[in-house]
């Protein structure tokens, strides 16, 4: 098999400052790569996600993307959606819809809107949205290492990845959590806690995905999308707010969440290219 040099970008997402958000690796023009090669490269980068830009197969899409974690492929993920769109635009991608870009991925078509200095995706409709059952809740509380009385509410939220989410009583509780997943059945766990009124961010968020080889994700678009749908729908959050994520990891991710007049939740933030070059891959 011949080695091919493909354009490669690494984009930091949910930050204006390089190295303070969540990086995604993007391989351009990847149509000739096999599934096994994509998966192997994702394991090699060892980032929470690596994406592969492909020609679209659905009418109305500007491009198609496949999203891999070190543990396998995802039908959708948030920060890779924004980072891949950034990389596609930077490589002279021309959206048919002007300021709207349409991405094709495993959950279908996802719209991304462009604004000054930022991108935002339309959160896909939930495939599942329900309270955790007693067994699931007990497992999540034990894995999270938080007191049961600190849990204000809880949900199983699935928009591609399925997240078990605990809403706890404060951002400090989230920051102080020291989860332990040894022997735990929990594959993906989100923690959310409010900051005091008047703080720069409304919530602190943390996302753990040991089931797919990601002990803690620095900043998680899919989790924030599901949480944003849940909290704005139930009145626990205003229709527009900013969430902080990555603090414990030395990052400073800022996720902007907005529910528009039609009820669509948008999740966005700044994106910045950190690496741009070529990757030697085998088709």
Q: Which residues have a catalytic role annotated?
A: 49
* 8 A C-beta contact, residue 143 and residue 186: yes
* 8 A C-beta contact, residue 22 and residue 12: yes
* 8 A C-beta contact, residue 258 and residue 240: yes
* 8 A C-beta contact, residue 98 and residue 112: no
Query: Which residue from 275, 180, 272 is spatially nearest to 219, judged by alpha carbons?
Result: 272
* 8 A C-beta contact, residue 106 and residue 75: yes
Q: How far is CA 181 from CA 37, 139, 210, in A?
A: 29, 10, 7
């Amino acid at each position: 098999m011949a080695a091919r040099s493909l354009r490669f970008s690494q984009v930091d997402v949910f930050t204006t400052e390089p190295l303070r958000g969540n990086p995604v690796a993007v391989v351009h023009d990847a149509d000739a790569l096999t599934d096994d090669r994509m998966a192997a490269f994702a394991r090699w980068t060892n980032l929470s996600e690596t994406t592969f830009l492909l020609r679209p197969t659905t009418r109305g899409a500007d491009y198609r993307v496949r999203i891999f974690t070190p543990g396998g492929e995802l039908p959708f993920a948030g920060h890779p959606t924004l980072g891949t769109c950034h990389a596609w635009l930077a490589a002279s991608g021309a959206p048919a819809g002007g300021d709207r870009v349409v991405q094709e991925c495993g959950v279908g078509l996802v719209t991304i809107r462009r604004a000054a200095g930022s991108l935002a995706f339309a959160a896909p409709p939930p495939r599942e949205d329900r309270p955790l059952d007693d067994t699931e809740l007990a497992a999540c509380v034990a894995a999270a290492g938080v007191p049961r009385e600190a849990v204000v509410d809880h949900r199983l939220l699935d928009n591609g990845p399925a997240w078990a989410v605990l809403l706890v009583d404060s951002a400090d509780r989230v920051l102080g959590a020291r989860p332990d997943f040894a022997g735990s059945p929990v594959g993906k766990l989100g923690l959310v806690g409010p900051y005091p009124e008047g703080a720069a961010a409304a919530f602190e968020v943390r996302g753990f995905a040991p089931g797919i080889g990601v002990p803690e994700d620095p900043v998680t678009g899919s989790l924030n999308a599901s949480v944003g749908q849940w909290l704005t729908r139930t009145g626990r959050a205003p229709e527009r707010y900013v969430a902080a994520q990555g603090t414990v990891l030395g990052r400073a991710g800022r996720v902007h969440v907005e529910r528009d007049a039609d009820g669509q939740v948008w999740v966005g933030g700044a994106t910045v290219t950190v690496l741009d070059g070529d990757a030697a891959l085998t088709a």
